Amino acid sequence: MNRRLWAWVEGEYHQTPHHGLDGVTPLEKWAQSDSVRFPDPHDDLDNLFLFEERRKVQKDRTVSLNGMVYEVDAALLGETVTLRFDPSAPSGRPIQVCHQGRFIENAVHPTKAYLV
């Protein structure tokens, strides 16, 4: 299926003039561009594709996500935070806590908090 998709993309889509590109094909537009930007090899590409959910921090400084409860910084009590996570790796990657667009910390599962 992927081969068929790529055959269509390369054979038709990239070769067809587009109204949104002023009648130029995507391939021609790409070739004319001086500013084609490729990801920096040091970028954490997985981080760019994390899912996001908003949660309100409870009085006991916890937030819940997918049936699990996590502790966050007490300074966030009552605030709405954004949790960034990889749904395909629920226990393999930390859940990022962001507030007002800034990364604050990784959420801590309460059972792990007491082991430290």
Across the chain, which has 116 residues, the per-10-residue mean pLDDT values are 89 90 89 78 82 97 92 97 89 90 91 55
* pLDDT for res 82: 98
If we measure between CA atoms, which residue out of 66, 106, 86, 2 comes closest to residue 116?
106
Range of the domain at 10: 2-32
Assess whether 108 and 75 both reside in one domain. yes
Assess whether 59 and 100 both reside in one domain. yes
Report whether 107 contacts 71 (CB < 8 A): yes
* pLDDT for res 35: 75
The answer for residues whose C-beta is within 8 angstroms of residue 6's C-beta and 6 or more apart is none
Long-range contacts of 55-64 (CB under 8 A, 24+ apart): 55/80, 55/81, 55/83, 56/80, 56/81, 57/81, 62/110, 63/97, 63/107
Assess whether 104 and 55 both reside in one domain. yes
* pLDDT for res 113: 52
* pLDDT for res 34: 77
Question: Token digits for 38?
Answer: 């490729």
* pLDDT for res 75: 97
